[in-house]
Amino acid sequence: MDRLRYESERFRTYFGFPIAGMDVRMLTRAGFWFTNNNDKIRCAFCNLEIGALGVGDNLMELHSEWSSDCLFIRGESDNVPMEQEHDMVCLLPSNNCGPCLTNLGVSVSDNVRKSDNVTSTHLNVVRRVEPMHSRFENPKSRLKSYSTWPLEHWLAPRVLSEAGFFYSGTLDKAICFSCGGGLKDWQQHDDPWEEHAFYFSKCRFLIERKGRDFVKRVQGERPRALKSEEIGALASHPPKCTTATPEQFLCHLCQENERKILFMPCGHLVACIVCGMKVKSCPICRVDILATTRAILV
């Protein structure tokens, strides 16, 4: 049933759903699939089963209330939203951008990991517009997630939530609702906004709230180096056409070699050839890698 981590696969199970007027897309986005047994639905990640549904029911709230430890609720699952399944951004040459991805160069070779599930459908060019964890887009929702935040922790939940982070429920790990980047082991003088800008400089929410100048200032004040606090995604969106510095094209895993390997179906270009062949799931979105190909940058 691993396929049910894909939102589109869960959506397909609702054919013949018996409750008229029920928004099955909402049920799907809340992590549930239709069991075809009366009106019972089941979470693809914790197996919570719910029945006797009403049209006005808020499934996300019910899910959180009855199964708070669910990885989906905690933002730690390998759920793949519909928008992300074809999350490949078109990078075309322009007058104001640096190296751009213009040729996917997909071929059958020793260094291409293939699967029968990889088809031309996975190569659609679609620009992602929704946040990684849309249910925490509302600041109040993020703040509510800190109900079990360690009381002795010096960093206030309000400050973290304002910077876009919701609580994962584990230690002091917080995750950005927009880019999906996570941080933990916060130090006494860490500023959530600055840490956000340093590790996840491409985050759309961050740029909208603080501006590109703020991000550039933070990036320029200290050397770029990975540390153990950086968890999960290093950026939620694939590289876009920017006036990028050479450092921005280094492998996010080893920080030594140039990014060369494109992961499919997610479309993220974050790894060098050596590192790209070692991982089984994308370090950014956690989607299983069905194929890899060498990206051609011009």
Domain with residues 2-66, CATH architecture: Orthogonal Bundle (1.10)
Q: How high is the pLDDT of residue 83?
A: 63
Q: How high is the pLDDT of residue 237?
A: 36
Determine if residue 52 is left, alpha or beta; phi over 0 gives left, psi from -120 to 50 gives alpha, anything else beta.
left
Q: How high is the pLDDT of residue 223?
A: 56
271 class by beta-carbon count within 10 Å (0-12 exposed, 13-18 middle, 19+ buried)? buried
Q: How high is the pLDDT of residue 23?
A: 82
Q: How high is the pLDDT of residue 26?
A: 86
Q: Which two tokens stand for residue 28?
A: 């799907």
For residue 265, whether the previous peptide bond is cis, meaning omega lies within 30 degrees of 0, is yes
Place of tokens 């790894």: 271
CATH topology of 2-66 equal to that of 134-232? yes
Task: Provide CB contacts within 8 A for 210, sequence distance 6+.
Answer: 193, 197
Give residue limits of the domains in the chain.
2-66, 134-232
Determine if residue 185 is left, alpha or beta; phi over 0 gives left, psi from -120 to 50 gives alpha, anything else beta.
left
Q: How high is the pLDDT of residue 41?
A: 92
d(CA 29, CA 19): 17
Q: Mean pLDDT of successive 10-residue segments in the chain (298 residues)?
A: 82 82 85 88 91 82 87 88 51 31 33 37 37 85 93 91 92 87 85 90 83 88 47 36 51 79 78 76 77 64
Q: How high is the pLDDT of residue 248?
A: 65
Q: Which fold has domain 134-232?
A: Inhibitor Of Apoptosis Protein (2mihbC-IAP-1); Chain A (1.10.1170)
| Geometric angle at alpha carbon 118, from 117 and 121, rounded to 5° | 105
Q: How high is the pLDDT of residue 7?
A: 86
